[in-house]
Structures are given as C-alpha cells and as structure tokens.
Amino acid sequence: KGAKIEARNNEERTPLHKAAKSDAENVVKLLIERGAEVNPRDKYDLTPVRLVENLKTAHILEQHGATE
C-alpha cells in the first residue's frame, strides 16, 4: 500500500510540507496528482508554499491553488 498522503508528523507537517521544504519538485507534483491537500497548515500555521526556497517549486504549488 504505502504511506498515507495526509499523514502528519510531530510538527503537524504532511508529506507535501516535507517535499516543499526539500524543493523536491517531482515529489510535490506526485503528491498533488495523488490528491494531497495543497494548503494544509502545520502547528506553526505554515502552508507548504511558505517553506519553499526554490521558485519553481513555489510556482508548481501556486498553479494548484497554494496560498500562504
């Protein structure tokens, strides 16, 4: 089966938060294609797009409705 797409860690971050923070563009795309919520908030009230450092990754998220 695999990991749950909306699983949360101790900071309430999802796999999409982790992929965005790592600027893993292909993983971000895959998670979105598989139905990941684009704007989940972690315990610091941050969405994945707030964690990116790479503009290309931010653009991918924004194309799918990501907001701060």
Model pLDDT for residues 45-59, shown as the tens digit of each residue: 999 999 999 999 999
Domains and CATH numbers, the chain: 15-63 (1.25.40.20)
AA letter at 57: T
Residues 40/6, Cβ–Cβ less than 8 Å: yes
- Distance between CA atoms of residues 3 and 43, nearest Å: 21
Amino acid 18: pLDDT = 98
What pLDDT digit, counting tens, does each position of 8-63 carry? 999 999 999 999 999 999 999 999 999 999 999 999 999 999 999 999 999 999 99
**CB-based contacts of 1: which residues, under 8 Å, 6+ apart?**
none
Look up residue 41 and give its DSSP letter: -
**Can you give the pTM of this predicted structure?**
0.92
